[in-house]
Structure 1
Amino acid sequence: MSLFRYTRAGREPDAPRPPHSPLLWIALIALIAGVLVLAFAWLAGWLGRDRATVQTFTDTIEATGANHPGFRRAHSKGACVSGSFQGTPQGAALSAARVFRQQQVPVLGRLSIGGGDPHGADANARVRSMALQLVSDDGQEWRTAMNSFPFFAVPTTEAFLEQTRAGIPDPATGKPDPAKMAAIAAKYPSAKAFGEWAKTAPWSTSWANTTYNGVNSFRFTNADGHTEVVRWSMRPLAPFEAMDAEQRKQASLDYLSDEFQQRLANGPVQWEMWATIAAAGDAVSDPSIPWPEDRRQVKLGTLTLTALQPQAGGACNNLNFDPLILPSGIAGSDDPILAARSAVYSESFNRRERELASGKEKAQ
């Protein structure tokens, strides 16, 4: 891996565990979802790349939950996966990126759960995530990070900072102030909608039957120079199965990893990658607004995963799945939160490196 990749291979801030109160639980799910993808909801343009400001913001994120030295600040628990991606002619017509034309592109990835606890119970994580690195035969690289939620909880960098501050536990109770969390939900309609999703959407029984959404917008440019704005998602070929509360209660600590390994013993696990094409007037720069379901959709390719290994010492462990590492033919949109990731990931990575160098707990 190049030095460039390592300098961008940051960690993500800790996210708090959901409290027992239903109101706090729902509100904190929204916070966790934002923290899970780190700068997916903050810093771009507004805070820029001033190191002191990035440090301050990262400190605020860390204040929302326990810090586990040497571990990622969010998505702390996960597993490395590998396999391949095969593009479609339709994808190649939409973007000039080599990954859609190469017969088979090697994939390194990570499946993870929400939150900052590297020892947390898999089945108790409301949000599940998939991150991928694709390197085509011309040396170009595409990294993407996707999550099981369909949209972000808040629309702007300022809103996410407010939400993060509201999530800092009160020293007297050890939990966030419910009034502050409720105020965020009242101020931002998308935060309220996210709370409803967290409360009502069924939980999948496996990483393998979960849909993962990129949520942010990107620009695809084809060989003729034509550009479309898209959002993509990974849709599983495994049929969805809902997990009830009793199943979550009975599940083992490493349930998702164990279950996925058992699936792989019976053969590869696959998803189809689909792009949704924006129409005039769609919210390109606001990831808290879903696009209408009737938008044109294009199948970009098929992801096939064939192996899983523990992240401790695994190939994915020190890799930052920064969604702005993109090949020719794919570019970031005007969504400001995309521009934020490199600065904060770099700060987080530096903190992790210092922790490991000091002999504190090793990353897993």
Structure 2
Amino acid sequence: MVDRSTPPNRPPLSSASLIARLAGIGVIVAAVAGAFAYVNGTFDPQRLTPKKLINVLETNNGVHPGFRRNHSKGVCVIGHFESSGEARSYSSAQVFNDPQTPVVGRFALPAGSPYAPDSSVPIRSLALRFTQANGQQWRTGMNSMPVFPVGTPEAFYQLQQAQSPDPATGKPNPAAVPAFFGSHPEAGPFLAWIKTAKPSASYVTETYNSVNAFYLVNAAGQKQAVRWSMVPLAQDAAGATAPEGADFLEKDLVQRIGAGPLRFQLNLTLANADDPVNDASKSWPAGRKVINAGTLVLNATQPQLDGECRDINYDPLVLPAGIEGSADPLLAARSAGYASSYLRRTSEVSQLPAVKQEAKQ
């Protein structure tokens, strides 16, 4: 896992600057992992449902017909995965055993508006669908942050409420998000990272993390808890900054992929027996064994409004035999929330011609 702690020569944020930054974190967090919903029915009497979660996201972000309710701005990518063979002893999944597996992916800006400036949030996301020869699929949604800010769907929903507009003013209460984090100490690792996180100049120079944990299962039924990361095999020069303009990420991606395939290494980090598997807000200690499972090769882009990724629901619990979800409650919540968002946006497909025209203006 990349160490994103504050460099020793960087002066600490002033109290006023930190409070101002915390007040804006709600917008960032609303985008980091998509729509969540608590599905176990224990949040009574006001049970949190997919509908309620998507509704609060629409309240905070607005409604943009035909687009995802979060991670709305993105671009499709096409490629394949080349297995290294190093994960074969841990998982029976074909993706780790066959030489190549086709992939349809999507880079995205974690924001609720498809028209958000690329520099508006410091987090990037990458979603992938691997389609195995036996027809089974592995879908994964990853983010450039190392941990999630909270560990439960209820807390995530409360954070969305904290950034909702006050009916009396039409604007969020600037004290609500800092107050939320003040009562959620588990957010400490995320806040430590976000203090120094900067918008990257390119989608292809980021490391993307699963954040949630999963299990690899081998042919003998043995299980190994893992988190995974897609690590770029090429990096920009140190000190590279994001260019000016609202839409530089897609332009940069198209230019880079036009010059040749882009490659990422899939690293699987193996948990020790006492590592927290069911809480995405907790990191694992450094020094854990890391396996190079293979290389993601991307060789084409497509517009998201009519590309292959448009109608894919990147549900993180769509898994092939040989990979299983953990008991992390955020995984079930993501699955339910993604489905609700998918149904809403696909019912709006008839409005996409008008959306395309609007985007050109």
TM-score (norm: length of structure 1): 0.86
Q: Distance in 2 between matches of 1:164 and 1:334?
A: 23
Residue 181 of structure 1 aligns with which residue? 177
Moved more, 77-86 or 55-64: 55-64
In structure 1, C-alpha distance between the alignment counterparts of 2:51 and 2:102, rounded to whole Å: 35
Aligned match of 2:38: 43
2:298 to 284, 292, 305: 305
1:264 to 254, 257, 269: 257
Which residue matches 1:338? Answer: 331
Residues 80, 298 of structure 2: 8 Å contact kept: yes
Amino acid at match of 1:132: L
Which residue number corresponds to residue 87 of structure 1? Answer: 83
Runs of 5+ consecutive residues of structure 2 not aligned to the other structure: 1-16
TM-superposed CA distance for 1:171, in Å, is: 3.8
Q: Aligned pair in 2 of structure 1 residues 149, 241: CA closer, same or farther (>3 Å)? A: farther
Matched, 1:114 2:133: no
Aligned in 2, Cα 1:47/1:348: closer, same or farther, shift over 3 Å? farther
Q: Deviations over 1:22-43 (max 9, x none)?
A: 635434435533543224x541
Q: Which residue of 2 aligns with 1:322?
A: 315
Shift of 1:216: 0.4
Shift of 1:202: 4.1
2:347 corresponds to which residue?
A: 354
CA distance in 2 between partners of 1:360 and 1:82 (Å): 23
Q: Secondary structure at the match of 2:87?
A: helix
Residue pair 1:133, 1:143 contacting (<8 A) in 2 also:
yes
2:286 is matched with 293
Could you give the per-residue CA deviations for residues 105-140 of structure 1, whole angstroms, max 9, x where no partner exists? 111000010111111222333110000000011111
Change (3 A) 1:360 1:259: closer
- 1:222 matches 2:222: no
- Contact kept? 2:66, 2:352, Cα under 8 Å: no
Instruction: Work out whether residues 23 and 178 of structure 1, in 8 Å CA contact, stay in contact via their aligned partners in 2.
Output: no
* CA displacement at 1:62 relative to structure 2: 1.7
Q: How much is the aligned-residue C-alpha RMSD, in angstroms?
A: 2.6
From 271, 278, 297, give the equivalent of 1:278.
271
In structure 2, how many angstroms separate the alpha carbons of the residues matched to 1:256 and 1:35? 17
Give the % identical residues.
Answer: 42
Q: Which amino acid aligns with 1:175?
A: K
Tell me the SS of whatever aligns to 1:122: coil
Q: 1:159 to 1:150 in 2, by over 3 A?
A: same
- Give me the TM-score of the superposition, normalised by structure 2: 0.86
1:78-108: per-residue Cα shift (whole Å, max 9, x none)? 0000111011221111111000111111110
Of stretches 85-94 and 137-146 in structure 1, the one that deviates more from structure 2 is 85-94
Cα–Cα, structure 1 residues 183 and 353, in superposed 2: closer, same or farther, change >3 Å? Answer: same
Query: Relative to 1, partners in 2 of residues 1:120 and 1:47: Cα closer, same or farther, differing over 3 Å?
Result: farther
Q: Which residue of 2 aligns with 1:64?
A: 60
State the alpha-carbon separation in 2 of the partners of residues 228 and 130 from structure 1: 24
CA contact (8 A) 2:305 2:352 kept: no
Distance 1:121-1:203 versus aligned 2 partners, 3 A rule: closer
